Amino acid sequence: MSTGPGPVPQLVVVDGRTRGAGFDIPPGRSEIGREAGVAILLDDQDVSRHHAVLERAGSRVVLTDPGSTNGTWVNRRQLRPGDPRDRVELRDGDEVRLGSVTLRFSVAATGDGTAVREYAFGDVHGPVQTGSGQQYTAGRDQYVAGRDQVVVHGQASEVLAELAGLREALAGLRLTEAERSSAEGDLQAMEQAVGRPDPDTTTASRHLQSFTAGLKDAGALAASGVALAESIAKIAHWLGPLAAGVLALL
């Protein structure tokens, strides 16, 4: 008798500007927070850089608060920040609140009737988290499940084409010499990072954030039109969770 895939513990954002964004919880110890590099990145000022800790063994997930500023709640019960003994094992359907961000814990198997399709560059719109290469669509919410961006080298050429388009668009923007120099430096760094045999998504994400923030601060992002923002969003989706903060700037 064949068995389907085991249950996949997930956290899905249920409110705010990133509603519908979903995150697979990786095995072992992982963190939720606002700092790049954590397993579940939430770009919200009320979320601490290292807000909560998850420990997963199979489908069992335990949550603790290592000392967040704005608190962690499970079903309206607040965990004691900084107390590793205050541990809550999450159950399917539990509501988890980190500061002002509310998520729903769920355990779903891939073979449970949920529609699955392959994820391709540019397919997804809105703030999502990319990873396993499959996009799950169930009801009105859509999200890409998985923790780490799986880089398909055939897609790198598409990202490089988007970066070339950004360079062309940059030439037509009204910027000071310093602003233009900074933006061009970020673009060059992104092209080098993405063009490597093994793309450096960490470096590319950092420079995409710098590039986007610089244009926004200069007032050029709002004046540039939709096409520039769409190109930035496509690149951010390809880069995955490390570039999640870019979407909040658009």
What are the CA-CA distances from residue 138 to residues 115, 130, 238 (Å)? 7, 16, 22
What are the CA-CA distances from residue 72 to residues 101, 128, 136, 144, 244 (Å)? 10, 22, 27, 25, 21
| CB neighbourhood size of 115 (10 A) | 9
Cα gap 228→166, rounded to integer Å: 7
Highest mean pLDDT, choosing among 3-7, 35-39, 242-246: 35-39
- Note the pLDDT of residue 75: 94
Beta strands across the sheet bearing 22-24: 22-24, 8-13, 101-108, 95-98, 72-74, 77-78
- Note the pLDDT of residue 202: 87
- Signed CA dihedral, 144, 150, 152, 155: sign only: positive
- Nearest alpha carbon to residue 32 among 13, 14, 49: 49
Bridge partners for 141 per DSSP: 138
What are the CA-CA distances from residue 105 to residues 30, 144, 165 (Å)? 15, 15, 39
- Note the pLDDT of residue 230: 86
What are the CA-CA distances from residue 88 to residues 6, 51, 53, 174, 249 (Å)? 22, 15, 11, 53, 34
Those residues whose C-beta lies under 8 Å from the C-beta of residue 136, and which sit 6 or more positions away, are: 22, 114, 115, 116, 142, 143, 144, 145
Please determine, for residue 16, whether its predicted confidence score (pLDDT) is greater than 90: no
pLDDT tens per residue, range 107-126: 865 444 433 333 334 433 34
pTM of the model: 0.47
Please determine, for residue 130, whether its predicted confidence score (pLDDT) is greater than 50: no
- Nearest alpha carbon to residue 22 among 150, 100, 108: 108
- At which residue do the structure tokens 């699955």 appear? 116
pLDDT tens per residue, range 195-234: 888 888 889 999 999 999 999 999 988 888 788 888 898 8
Cα gap 142→204, rounded to integer Å: 25
pLDDT tens per residue, range 23-76: 899 999 999 999 888 999 988 888 999 999 999 998 899 999 999 999 999 998
